[in-house]
Amino acid sequence: ETLPATDAAPASLSLRLREGTRPEHEQAETTGFVEKLMGGELDVAAYTDLAAQQYAIYGALEQASAQIRDDAQGATLVFDELTRTPSIEKDLAFLVGSDWATEIRILPATEAYVARLLEVGTSLSAYAAHAYTRYLGDLSGGQIIKRMMERHYGLGPDGLAFYTFDEIPKAKPFKDVYRERLDSLDLTDEQIAETVEEAKLAFRLNSALFAELGAIHC
């Protein structure tokens, strides 16, 4: 029996991630904290608090990267040029001072995000979901955030190393390669569905963090 001609080919993982997380992206992008930070209504302290949370989050994400690269498929998603932890450390040293490591405070929403990364981050589908959510976001909306932080709070390049990918001169071709790598993973339908679900969760963990930052800074 032939399939009806109207049956669309199954969408690629990268497309399913983009489409599947569209509402969650919209939600994250329009939280009060993000809108006010982007609109210049907050201050460097709010940006610094976000950077501190990202220090913990990328610590866990990049610990997962170091492990998943031992897996042949996992290795295709790990790019040294994406590594953000050293950049965040530089930003915090500038924003907080040399004692930044003992000065920063990790919020409960961050602890929950980190716990999820430590729990599932070394499974291929979960790693793909979390790495996609953060790194493609940093290379997309992150570049807009960088410009707004320069404009409103007089930051940069000191303090904005996180958003500066020295080894990725053009985000677009890099993101295309990253999406090809996602689409080349050998995943079952079930694993693909799991990846999309985990990416939605990753967005919600980010939104929960913005809500907590908003309660403090807005």
Contact between 204 and ligand HEM (CB under 6 A)?
no
In angstroms, give the least distance from the CB of 126 to ligand HEM.
15
Contact between 47 and ligand HEM (CB under 6 A)?
no
Binding pattern to ligand HEM, positions 8-37, x when CB under 6 A? ---------xx------x--xx----x---
In angstroms, give the least distance from the CB of 31 to ligand HEM.
8
* Residue nearest ligand HEM by beta-carbon distance: 141
Q: Find all residues with CB under 8 Å of 208, minimum gap 6, and list them.
A: 109, 112, 113
Contact between 146 and ligand HEM (CB under 6 A)?
no
Q: What is the dihedral of CA 34, 35, 40, 45, to 10 degrees?
A: -30
From the list 20, 137, 159, 214, which residue makes contact with ligand HEM (rule: CB under 6 A)?
137
Contact between 53 and ligand HEM (CB under 6 A)?
no
In angstroms, give the least distance from the CB of 1 to ligand HEM.
35
Nearer to ligand HEM, 23 or 101 (CB): 23
Applying CB under 6 A, the residues found at the interface with ligand HEM are 17-18, 25, 28-29, 34, 38, 132-134, 136-137, 140-141, 144-145, 175, 203, 206
